[in-house]
Amino acid sequence: MMKKHRTTLVLFCLLAVLAFAPMLQEHLGFPRVKSLAGVTNEVPFPKLTSTTYRNGQFQRSLEKYLQHHYGYRPITVRLYNQYLWDFYNKTFTKGSITVGKEGWLYEPWFVEDYYHGGTYTQKKDSLSLIQDMKREAFRIYQLQHILEQYGVTLFVCQAPGKDMIYPEYLPDDTVTTRPKKVSARTFYDEQFNLLGINHINTEQWFLQMKDTVDFLLFPQKGTHWSNIAAAYVADSLFRYVEAKQGIRMNRLSIGEPTIGKFKKPDYDLEELYNLCRPLKKLPQHYAKLNAIPVADAVKPKMITVGDSYFWNICAFVPMDSLFESHPYWYYNSTIYFDSCHKTTKEVDLAKELLSADAVMLIYCSTQLYNMSNDFCRQALVALCYDKEELNEIQTEVERKIRSNNKWLKNIEQRADRYQMTLDSAIVHEANFAVTHDIESFLPAFKDSIPTKRSSEAHRHKTSIDN
Amino acid sequence: MVFSSNVFLLYFMPAFFLVYFLMPRKTRNYVLLLASLIFYAWGAPEFIIQLVVSTILNFFLVKWMCATQNTRGRKWLCCISIAVPLGLLLVYKYGNFTMENLNAILGLTGHAPLSWRRIMLPIGISFFSFQSVTYTLDTYRGVNQPLRKLSDYMLYITMFPQLIAGPIVRYCDVADQIRQRESSMADRLQGFYRFVIGLAKKILIADVIGLCVDKMLGPAALDPSQVGDIMTRIATLDTGTAWLVALAYTFQIYFDFAGYSDMAIGLGRVMGFMFPENFDNPYTSRSITEFWRRWHKTLGAFIMNYLYIPLGGNRKGTGRMYLNLWLCFLLSGLWHGAAWNFVVWGALHGLFICLDKLFLGKVMKKIGTVPSVILTFITVTIIWVFFRIENIGLAWTFVTRMFAFDFSGFVFNGNALVYTTLAVAAIFSFLTLTGWGKKLEKKVYYTDYSDRQHIWIWIIAILVFIFCVAALNATSFSPFIYFRF
């Protein structure tokens, strides 16, 4: 009897200790637990006020917060995902992964792009999309010519999508009712050729290479080009910069491809599953990448604006040995590899651009719809206008708005909707018009290649000429 | 606060039990009362004052009633004491319903509708109102002595394990336990095991099936703007799909409700309360009458003791008995929700109970166990449609699709997980029809475990608990590889 009592007592005490384990782990952060892969929106701790408590908002938000913040969460999520994967071949990576044939994984927008011309994130109709892309291509053309005058090479690198290089592993298209929409991939290609824009389309090159090499250009469980493919692309890009700049750079040496231990991010899609056990994968080749010094080599400065495809280049290629600096303006928002700036908002754009030797726009097929992420417009404005001039034009636009009844009425309605004062709505509208619809509101952009320059650009030009 | 939430499972429950067991025995009721008020105030902050005030009022009314020697005075005080909780129930639960119907009638007769402000329904009001009634009537009838301390009475009404969704604990069932109770270590562990069983029923079965049912039928409380869309979908529903959806809901509601009751009973047992059982394998019933002896047993007992018998039961002739039965189920339907679909649901159950008494019961007995269980299950499944679909027109269309014999396109959106869960739900629902199923149930629910069994069951319970927490939260994690701007 005593022994039974002892057993149940021990079990009950153990239960009490275990009940507090998640709370303690969450608040003390001990023991450390391997965090979950992937990015999600951070759920903030809710604000407790009398109103949020009484209307239940605080309680609902706290529950949501606790779903993301409780002890041992990664373990429980992995455990449940592993169960779903083992028994039902599914996980809760909602909409982030599409399972193809023979265990190949794709991001769903690549599948969409392959079968339906890729309008995954595009809400616009084809016609306005074409207009937007045409305008963007023309801005690239303008920017390329302006930067050329300052000895800066602007060029575009179109990265291939995994869908185009390995379509044989794509899942069958089950949706037959959607019409094929405009493809940014082919549209930009035509525009770039038509306007003579510096660009490298790596897609055809990859397709040719695919049958001649015995390594994978895209990892089976990853979304970006493989380490070795990225290295070949990087080498070509650097040669392109050399040729355009008329300089000699240190050489990138690519060693013999050999099967190696999987390196990040070659299994980034698999990681997103957040399973307990790794999946079986096709072997991946890796090559040793070194920079070989060249006599009289110049280390240029290259700014890269683009999507995540550049990560693989940065991750494997010894960029510091090849470039003086190589800031990476990720989606023209966060800045990496730059000790001075963290976001593009902090940057003096004209000054930064004119101090570079090359500017590369690198986008994969599904991101072409957001080509440059507004970088070109911002750069054109920065190179052609001073702030004071823009303010004057904005004041003029504000005056025009106030004298145009139709326009004013439209803004009044919007002010009502967003609960703004009419004055601030007018300022907002004028500012947006001047800084975004530059072709309509800024006279310099009426010309094919603007000749007007901002003070910074002018100063730079004078110093070059001297 | 609901049991199947992180706030409860990972914070409230551990913190509460820690304080509860660390405090001296004499103060534990106060701890439980305070925790119960916090629990209620968390989910219904606007109504905590009404709950407390009405409880205090009722306590003193009953005290006054018991102290009154005059029979007439006692009767009056009893009526007032019953009228307080039932009045609140009427106002809060049926206020909107009454006004909507009144305005509909006014509209039909060409009168202008009356304006009123919609009333929010306090959670758990249906349960604590009934418990309040049982306290008044049990003391009035002299079944139990009234509680001496206000805090004990408040504890009986607001005790968090059964506050929100029952079981409806009659005062006579727990009167002694409120004053004094014992809980051995084994009781506490078995309470925990029972809680985990309930949690698994809710999270691993009911919620999984529920997601699928909601996708097919829309949310339980339909916005009027959604009715058109759902009607279009239902009007062309394939018969196979309609049956599968109805079956899915049949299992969902059982595992949801039974799971919640298990959790409540388990939590109570940890503290030494022996709450009455609420479910006894209802889908193995051989008639609707038997179904109501097995489904929501505490409600059945309440209706029997506090409504059917006071109405005259079967003592006033056969005709009156049928009327009483039917009326009880009609009101039971209305108790489940203030909408006409619940009235229809209750009326149909009442109808089948009357038919059982008339002839159906005998027929069911004659045809044997398996056919009668199947027929009863099918009947219950069809009637559940009226419980799930609030719009009567939609519900009726759905039922017609179940008998349209149109097998043109199966569109049930379940996946392997849902189908497996449905199969598991079906197995557990009918398990006790077999001898070994009954043995297993007895072993799991009603046997004192040996040391060795405790260790194994403890480990399994912990693993199931972790798995439930994992399932509860897994859906919240849906990452992207990289943020795209």
Residues B378 and B274 in one domain: yes
| A4–B450 C-beta distance less than 8 A | yes
Q: How many CA atoms lie within 13 A of A408 on its CB side?
A: 10
Grade residue A177 by pLDDT with cuts at 50, 70 and 90: low
- Average pLDDT of span B147-162: 87
The length of chain B in residues reads 485
Q: Is B192 a member of any domain?
A: yes
The residue of chain B with its CA nearest to that of A311 is: B482
CA-based nearest distance B78→chain A, Å: 34
Query: For residue A76, which residues of chain B lie inside 8 Å, CB to CB?
Result: 466, 469-470, 473-474
Q: Is residue B459 part of a domain?
A: yes
What local confidence, expressed as pLDDT, does residue A326 receive?
94
- Whether B310 is covered by a domain: the verdict is no
Residues B278 and B390 both lie in one domain: yes
| Residue B381 belongs to domain spanning | 187-286+368-474
Kindly report the nearest CA distance between residue A336 and chain B, in angstroms.
Answer: 15
Kindly state whether residues B163 and B197 are assigned to the same domain. Answer: no
Residues of A in contact with B417 (CB under 8 A): 84, 87-88, 90
Decide: pTM greater than 0.90: no
Among residues 242-281 of chain B, which lie with CB inside 8 Å of chain A?
none
Residues of chain B with C-beta less than 8 angstroms from the C-beta of A368: none
Which of B:403-422 have CB within 8 Å of A? 415-417, 420
pLDDT of residue A120: 45
pLDDT for residue B411 is more than 90: no
Tell me the average pLDDT across A280-293.
Answer: 91
Q: What is the pLDDT of residues A385-414, one digit of tens each?
A: 998 998 999 999 999 999 988 888 989 988
Instruction: Measure B335 CA to nearest chain A CA, in Å.
Output: 25
SS3 category, B38:
helix
Label residue A125 by pLDDT band (50, 70, 90). Answer: low
pLDDT of residue A325: 93
Q: What is the pLDDT of residues B340-376, one digit of tens each?
A: 888 999 999 999 999 998 888 889 889 988 999 999 9
pLDDT digits (tens, 9 = 90+) for B172-210: 788 788 888 888 888 899 999 999 999 999 999 998 898
For residue A318, whether the previous peptide bond is cis, meaning omega lies within 30 degrees of 0, is no
Q: Tell me, yes or no, whether B28 and B155 share the same domain.
A: yes
Residues B37 and B104 in one domain: yes
Which of chain B's residues have a Cβ under 8 Å away from the Cβ of A9?
185
Task: Note whether A54 contacts B45, CB cutoff 8 Å.
Answer: yes
Per-residue pLDDT, B134 = 87
Interface test with B, best of A1, A4, A314, A371 (most B CBs within 10 A): A4
Q: Concatenated DSSP letters for A65-131? A: HHHHS-TTHHHHHHHHHHHHHHHHS--S-TTT-EE-GGG-EE-HHHHHHHHH---TT--S-HHHHHH
Is residue B72 within 8 angstroms of chain A, CB to CB?
no
| Cα–Cα distance, B462 to A116 (Å, whole number) | 48
Q: Of the candidates A264, A256, A311, A266, which has an alpha carbon nearest to the alpha carbon of residue A287? A: A256
Length of chain A equals 466
Lowest mean pLDDT, pick from A109-118, A433-442, B7-16, B249-258 = A109-118
Question: Which pLDDT value is given to residue A142?
Answer: 95
Interchain pair A20, B18: CB under 8 A: yes
DSSP labels for B165-228?
A: T-----HHHHHHHHH-----HHHHHHHHHHHHHHHHIIIIIIHHHHHHHHHHH--SS--HHHHH
Using CA atoms, how far residue A116 sits from A168, A183, B484, in Å, is 16, 8, 21
Catalytic position from the list B111, B296, B336, B349 = B336
Q: Mark whether B166 and B59 lie in a shared domain.
A: yes
Distance from CA of B134 to the nearest CA of A (A): 31
Percent of chain B with pLDDT over 90: 33
Rounded to whole angstroms, the Cα distance separating B178 from B36 reads: 14
- Reported as a single tens digit per residue, the pLDDT across B295-326 is 999 988 888 888 888 888 778 888 888 888 88
Q: Are residues B31 and B105 in the same domain?
A: yes
Same domain, B194 and B68: no
**Rounded Cα–Cα distance for residues B146 and B135 (Å):** 8
Question: What pLDDT does B174 receive?
Answer: 82
Same domain, B411 and B455: yes
pLDDT for res A211? 87
Q: How confident is the model at residue B484 (pLDDT cuts 50, 70, 90)?
A: very low
Tell which of B124, B146, B181 closes a domain: B181
Lowest mean pLDDT among A7-21, A169-183, A392-406, B308-322: A169-183
d(CA A160, CA A204): 8
User: Could you give the ipTM of this predicted complex?
Assistant: 0.81
Region B72-84 average pLDDT: 89
Q: Do B417 and A84 touch (CB under 8 A)?
A: yes
Interchain proximity A272–B481, CB inside 8 Å: yes
Please report whether residue B137 resides in a domain.
yes
Whether residue B142 lies inside any domain: the answer is yes
Q: Which among A439, A464, A378 is positioned nearest to A152, based on CA atoms?
A: A464
Q: For residue B347, is it within any domain?
A: no
Q: Between chains, do B45 and A92 touch, taking CB under 8 Å as contact? A: no
B313 found inside a domain: no
Both B91 and B207 in one domain: the answer is no
Report the largest interatomic distance among the alpha carbons of chain A, rounded to a whole angstrom: 100
Does B419 share its domain with B441?
A: yes
- The answer to whether the Cβ–Cβ distance between A54 and B473 falls below 8 Å is no
Above 60 in pLDDT, residue B445?
A: yes
Q: Are residues B138 and B217 in the same domain?
A: no
Interaxial angle between packed helices B224-235 and B207-217, expressed in degrees from 0 to 180 and rounded to the nearest 10: 90
* Mean per-residue pLDDT of chain B: 87
User: Collapsing DSSP states into helix, strand and coil, what is residue A200?
Assistant: strand
B336 in active site? yes
Range B211-220 average pLDDT: 83
pLDDT tens track for A41-90: 788 899 888 888 888 889 889 988 888 888 898 999 899 989 988 888 77
Q: Render pLDDT for B81-128 as a digit per residue (tens, 0 to 9).
A: 889 888 888 888 888 888 888 888 888 888 888 887 877 777 888 888
Give dist(CA B219, CA A120) in Å, integer.
28
The conformation of residue B117, written as its DSSP 8-state character, comes to P
Query: Is B407 within the bounds of a domain?
Result: yes
Question: How many folded domains does chain B comprise?
Answer: 2
pLDDT digits (tens, 9 = 90+) for A127-167: 778 888 899 999 999 999 999 999 999 999 999 989 999 99
Residue A334: in which H helix or E strand, if any? strand A334-336
The last residue of one of the domains, among B162, B181, B200, is B181
Nearest Cα neighbor of B84 from B55, B120, B63, B64 is B55
Tell me which of B181, B206, B224 is where a domain ends: B181
B100, B123, B223 from B117: Cα distances, Å: 11, 19, 18
